Chains A and B, each alone.
Chain A
């Protein structure tokens, strides 16, 4: 096996068409950003799936830990007043 470093992992985001956001499509290995873009074109857009590609080296992504989902997301669970249905209005009121 080679004693040189392996190609790093990149995450690929593709905009399917203008007006839509870039969405995570998958990942791939490449030596640098330029190669990552070219490989992403070949691996993820062989059938016109995209009009724009972002690549970012996976190590630059900071992810939340699902084990801490409680602390992280529970505070939002008891705040029903953030939703329109929380507020009592007579049925006669229209367009609201």
Chain B
């Protein structure tokens, strides 16, 4: 294809997106669109898969059967969400194996929030309430993103995710209405998860390198700062109901903006964790890679069994 032809195709492509048409896997797309989507969708999928680990830590120690079945179901949903997203990503011409390889080798990133430890039961509450809350804010706009398979996966994910946040908030509520020690545990969890949750919505707009292009492709419909503000505005009243204090002395209602002003985020910490120096980066990857390697013989055995069954069937036909 000549340069002019490609330019022509690119223009038509951008027009289609501007008209809110969806792009499907077999449609022509600029290479950069493909690569950007592989990067974002796989990062999203990896986050779901690694996101199971901090919560898996508490399944066996959940305080009641009710809490245990809910947490199990939530973690199972996350596995499901990872699978929807991996499938969507594979339609762009990358194999599942390559995707795993990128995660395991550290080439691909996942949400850095999962590199923090879950040290008390209250962390299950804080994760559901804050981390899933921030995730929902990120994900709802993606239901109308331009790439069809991603948008369809997100519709399913969003539908399932609201239970996650409610179960987390219920855990917090129960602790806050419990003994002073239990309430203190809830406050401690909020103190530890608040700032990482704000960071989860991504670098500030002036530092974000992908925002402009992603907005054009509807891969992003609101900027990181807008999403963060939305998250803070809806979460503060929820903390009030719990009777908990947001660990930010600069947090203040701004009458003029009809929004909360908030304190400076420690972006050095964010970049440290992204670069692999968070408290749990190594442990998470070790658990993930270990599970994959220990499962290899099972995958091979299943394949060998399938092939043997197929051979047997073929012989019967003859």
Task: Report A's interface with B, CB cutoff 8 A.
Answer: 1-2, 4-7, 9, 26-29, 31-32, 35, 42-43, 46-47, 63, 65-67
Closest 10 CB pairs of A and B: A32-B306, A31-B302, A31-B306, A4-B300, A27-B87, A31-B303, A66-B27, A66-B26, A2-B296, A43-B83
The residues of B that contact A27 with a CB separation of less than 8 Å are 87, 90
Number of A-B contacts (CB under 8 A): 58
Contact A2 B299 (CB under 8 A): yes
Q: State the CA gap A65–B26 with chains docked (Å).
A: 7
Point out the residue from B96, B101, B300 that lies within 8 Å of A2, measured CB to CB: B300
Shortest distance from the beta carbon of A44 to any chain B beta carbon, whole Å: 8
* B248 contacts partner chain A, Cβ-Cβ < 8 Å: no
Shortest distance from the beta carbon of B149 to any chain A beta carbon, whole Å: 8
Contact A28 B87 (CB under 8 A): yes
Chain B binding surface SS class: helix
Contact A29 B96 (CB under 8 A): yes
The residues of B that contact A1 with a CB separation of less than 8 Å are 97, 101
* B24 contacts partner chain A, Cβ-Cβ < 8 Å: yes
Q: A5-B303, A31-B306, A43-B84 are in contact. List 7 more A-B contacts (CB 8 A).
A: A2-B299, A2-B300, A27-B90, A29-B96, A31-B302, A32-B310, A42-B80
* B253 contacts partner chain A, Cβ-Cβ < 8 Å: no
| Contact size range, B | 20 to 34
The proximity string for B residues 275-318 relative to A, scoring 1 for CB distances below 8 Å and 0 otherwise, is 00000000000000000000010011011111101100000000
The proximity string for B residues 5-28 relative to A, scoring 1 for CB distances below 8 Å and 0 otherwise, is 000000000000000000010111
Point out the residue from B73, B90, B305 that lies within 8 Å of A31, measured CB to CB: B305
Q: State the CA gap A6–B307 with chains docked (Å).
A: 12
Q: State the CA gap A51–B76 with chains docked (Å).
A: 21
Q: State the CA gap A63–B95 with chains docked (Å).
A: 19
The residues of B that contact A9 with a CB separation of less than 8 Å are 90
If the complex has contacts A46-B76, A46-B77, are A4 and B304 also in contact, measured as CB distance less than 8 A? yes
Contact A66 B303 (CB under 8 A): no
Contact A7 B303 (CB under 8 A): yes
Q: State the CA gap A7–B298 with chains docked (Å).
A: 11
Contact A7 B90 (CB under 8 A): no
Q: State the CA gap A5–B299 with chains docked (Å).
A: 9
The residues of B that contact A2 with a CB separation of less than 8 Å are 296, 299-300
Contact B24 A26 (CB under 8 A): no
The proximity string for B residues 78-113 relative to A, scoring 1 for CB distances below 8 Å and 0 otherwise, is 001001100100100001110001000000000000
Shortest distance from the beta carbon of B200 to any chain A beta carbon, whole Å: 25
Sample (22) of A-B pairs whose CB atoms are under 8 Å apart = A2-B300, A4-B303, A4-B304, A5-B303, A6-B95, A6-B96, A6-B97, A26-B84, A26-B87, A26-B153, A27-B87, A28-B83, A28-B87, A29-B96, A32-B302, A43-B80, A46-B76, A46-B80, A46-B160, A47-B160, A65-B26, A66-B26
